[in-house]
Amino acid sequence: MKLPGSAMPGLRLAVLAALLSTLASSAQAQEDGIRQVLSARLKNLPEITSVMPSPIPGLYEVVAGGEIFYSDADGSYIVQGAMIQTRNLRNITQQRLGVANAIPFDQLPIQNAIVTRIGSGARKMVVFADPNCGYCKQLVRNTQSKLTDVTIYTVVIAILAPDSRTKARDILCSSDPSAAWTAWMGAGVLPPSAPPSCTPKALDENIAYATAKHVFATPTLFFTTGRRVAAAIGAEQAEALLKGQL
């Protein structure tokens, strides 16, 4: 039977939809299979939160415990390390980590943060930092004197050294935590010791939050676009990220 010409476009669309559905089901089954094999064989592997094709055919990106590694199509082999695109030396793994570990800005613990406003403070960024973190000090020097119209929320996580908590406590308990943080991180000047009665709940709450969200490196930065960057970036890169250009 010959179908009317007017029926052909609808038929083509139905066939295409069925084909796409079949391909999607096949891809999902492939990814589920990788997830099951790796979870069974790698006993200490954290929960796998994502499996998807990587830019390299036959290699799959696996996200587990906030980290990325790669698997072949049946989970027989895994590869750890950065995937670099040679055309422009773009670190694909690092960029994908920023996406995989993104946190909506309104879910970040800014209520526990040291707030530093520069200019109008209209733009916003969050930094997880430790008072003994050399790269965090570099970040303060690279950004706070060079950025304009930005509010920087510093979430202090005391994780790097035995006296990190003492320094963090003294800074948080000072009369002006923002000025005290900048003085210490930028010039190495600590505020007076806090009285024993000052015990900021933020110190424990920040560590609990960071652990739950896999924030283990300092500094780790978050932007309103959802981007997450674990590095001591310069002012130029910070500007691009604040503008949503990276």
Query: How many Å apart are CA 30 and CA 59, to the nearest integer?
Result: 12
CATH class of 5-100: alpha beta
Q: In CATH terms, are 5-100 and 105-242 the same topology?
A: no
Alpha-carbon distances, residue 204 vs 137, 188, 218 (angstroms): 22, 24, 16
Identify the pLDDT of residue 7. 57
105-242 folds as Glutaredoxin (3.40.30)
Structural domain spans, the chain? 5-100, 105-242
Q: Which residues have a Cβ under 8 Å from the Cβ of 214 and sit 6 or more positions away?
A: 65, 66, 67, 101
Identify the pLDDT of residue 121. 95
User: Which residues are bridge partners to 228 per DSSP?
Assistant: 222
Largest pairwise CA distance in the chain: 91
CA angle 171-223-191, nearest 5°?
Answer: 10
- Exposure of 118 in the CB half-sphere (CA atoms within 13 A): 16
Identify the pLDDT of residue 215. 92
Asked if residue 101 lies in contact with residue 66, where contact means CB atoms within 8 angstroms, the answer is yes
Mean pLDDT by 10 residues, the chain (246 residues): 57 61 64 93 92 95 93 96 95 88 92 96 97 96 90 97 96 97 96 94 96 92 90 91 84
User: Which residues are bridge partners to 48 per DSSP?
Assistant: 64
Q: pTM of the prediction?
A: 0.76
